[in-house]
């Protein structure tokens, strides 16, 4: 085991996969000579060559479109979108082509590609460097949406994403890159896509989250245990599509109370789907209404620190207060 932060875990896992399989190609804006905005691929152009580490024009639809073509011709492309906010020009390529090609070809063709992109707020990125985009793509059958929260999961899930026969959107929360550290197992281990994990066992209520918000939930759960002796079970979904319904429902049936926490706009967010699934499958096991905490329904995250703090409503004190309220219900 080695302690790493999230960005180092991503870098090491991707590097080792590229070293072990020459079919893997990295392409994106500034990934080559510059080594990427977050320096993940620093030095890789010299190590792997310009044919495998490719600097692209500022054209996200082209990046994803080229990656689809590569995947159809035997390569395993990893397309980096510099920030998730910039992925929208590629929406049609992702949704109409990559996600649907296996279905439309009756299984004759697959698109084994990964789209890596940093998402989320909390680093003063303002309007165009803070968006949470997961709900748009989790809505589309045919593409998997992965949202690791810890270094160990980031490494294991990235390897699984690269080896998956279908397209995977791999979302890395920027706030976790250097602020979250953890033990990473040695070797090329795989973390299965579509399997949630109980990060903390508990009996009094279930808190379901993902990405950076998961760590805020864990902090709130520890405080509640110290202050009031309440035992909170914290579930990390890890994958939004496919969603591990069994783990979520099993936990809620065990504790009898559920809250869902996510950073994205609250309305129509991924948490709404999780909450509705709980209501469908475990309504009569609940001792209180499902509590859902999400970001405010305003168009974008402001730059000013107080307003950014307000937008990222799922912050520790707010989560703690609502968690305590639910535990007392």
CB atoms within 10 A of CB 226: 9
Put residue 62 in one of left, alpha, beta given phi > 0 → left and psi -120 to 50 → alpha. alpha
129 included as an active-site residue: yes
Is there a contact between 213 and 186 (Cβ–Cβ < 8 Å)?
no
Cα torsion 70, 62, 239, 132 to 10°: value is 170
CA atoms of 264 and 271, how far apart (whole Å) = 9
CA atoms of 322 and 311, how far apart (whole Å) = 17
* Residue closest to 9 by CA, chosen among 182, 139, 138, 127: 182
What are the start-end ranges of the H helices in 164-282?
Answer: 176-179, 212-228, 245-255, 270-282
DSSP class of residue 33? S
Catalytic residue among 73, 129, 222, 318: 129
Active site members: 129
């Amino acid at each position: 085991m080695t302690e790493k932060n999230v960005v180092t875990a991503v870098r090491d896992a991707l590097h080792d996969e590229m070293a072990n399989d020459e079919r893997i190609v990295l392409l994106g804006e500034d990934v080559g000579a510059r080594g990427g905005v977050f320096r993940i691929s620093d030095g890789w152009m010299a190590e792997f060559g310009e044919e495998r580490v490719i600097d692209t024009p500022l054209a996200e639809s082209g990046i994803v479109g080229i990656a689809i073509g590569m995947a159809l011709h035997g390569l395993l492309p990893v397309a980096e979108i510099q920030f998730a906010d910039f992925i929208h020009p590629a929406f049609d390529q992702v949704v109409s082509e990559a996600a649907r090609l296996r279905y439309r070809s009756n299984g004759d063709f697959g698109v084994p590609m990964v789209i890596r992109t940093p998402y989320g707020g909390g680093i003063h990125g303002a309007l165009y460097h803070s968006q949470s985009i997961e709900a748009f793509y989790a809505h589309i059958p045919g593409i998997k949406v992965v949202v690791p929260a810890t270094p160990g999961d980031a490494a294991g899930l990235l390897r699984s994403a690269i080896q998956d026969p279908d397209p995977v959107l791999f979302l890395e929360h920027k706030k976790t890159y250097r602020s979250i550290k953890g033990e990473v197992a040695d070797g090329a281990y795989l973390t299965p896509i579509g399997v949630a994990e109980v990060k903390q066992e508990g009996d009094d209520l279930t808190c379901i989250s993902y990405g950076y918000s998961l760590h805020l939930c864990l902090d709130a759960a520890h405080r509640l245990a110290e202050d009031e002796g309440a035992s909170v079970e914290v579930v990390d979904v890890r994958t939004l599509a496919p969603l591990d319904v069994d783990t979520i429902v099993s936990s809620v049936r065990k504790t009898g109370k559920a809250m869902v926490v996510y950073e994205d706009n609250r309305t129509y967010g991924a948490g709404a789907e999780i909450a509705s699934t709980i209501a469908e499958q475990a309504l009569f096991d609940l001792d209180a209404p499902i509590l859902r905490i999400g970001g405010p329904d305003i168009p974008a995250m402001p730059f000013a620190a107080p307003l950014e703090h307000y937008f990222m409503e799922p912050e520790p004190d707010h989560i703690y207060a609502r968690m305590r309220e639910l535990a007392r219900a």
